[in-house]
Amino acid sequence: MQDAENKMLEKLAGFLKIVGDTNRLRIIWVIGKGERPVSEIINETGLSQTLVSFHLKVLREAEIVETERRGVFIYYRLGNPGLIDLLSACGEYAHKLTGEITPGFTWPCPPWFNK
């Protein structure tokens, strides 16, 4: 029972660690707009090919993203598009913590996240 909680917290920490990286978030944000081949992800993020490949592997192994090969290209998409909502809620939370105002950006928060 205590053990079950610990196990879940470890799993949660693992997940948060994976999404808690700026470059991976950048990638997730690109893919969140719709499936993309790796080359597109490289272009849109401006990251090096190997670095993108490295992070995609992490996301793949965590089953956060899915892949599909079509010809030469390998398309990546989110396993569950709800991830953007979830992360946006976290972003909104984090944003309020610091209290700063960053114009030109609003988190695409789902309706359920008011406060």
Partner DNA sequence: GGCTCATATAAGTTGCTATTCATATAAGAT
Partner DNA sequence: ATCTTATATGAATAGCAACTTATATGAGCC
Q: Which residues bind DNA (CB under 7 A)?
A: 17, 21-23, 37-39, 42, 47-58, 67, 69, 71-74
Of 50 and 98, CB closest to a second copy: 98
Given the rule CB under 8 A, which residues bind a second copy? 1, 3-17, 19-22, 25-26, 29, 62-64, 79-80, 82-83, 86-87, 89-91, 93-98, 102-105, 107, 110, 112-113, 115
Give which of DNA, a second copy, none residue 101 binds (C-beta under 5 to 8 Å, depending on kind).
none
Token pair in block for residue 109: 């928060």
Of 38 and 89, CB closest to a second copy: 89
Give which of a second copy, DNA, none residue 37 binds (C-beta under 5 to 8 Å, depending on kind).
DNA
**Integer CA distances (angstroms), 24 to 17, 21, 65, 93, in order:** 10, 5, 11, 19
The helix, strand and coil proportions of the chain, stated in percent and rounded to the nearest 5, come to 60, 10, 30
| Sequence letter at residue 86 | L
115: exposed, middle or buried (Cβ count in 10 Å: 0-12, 13-18, 19+): exposed
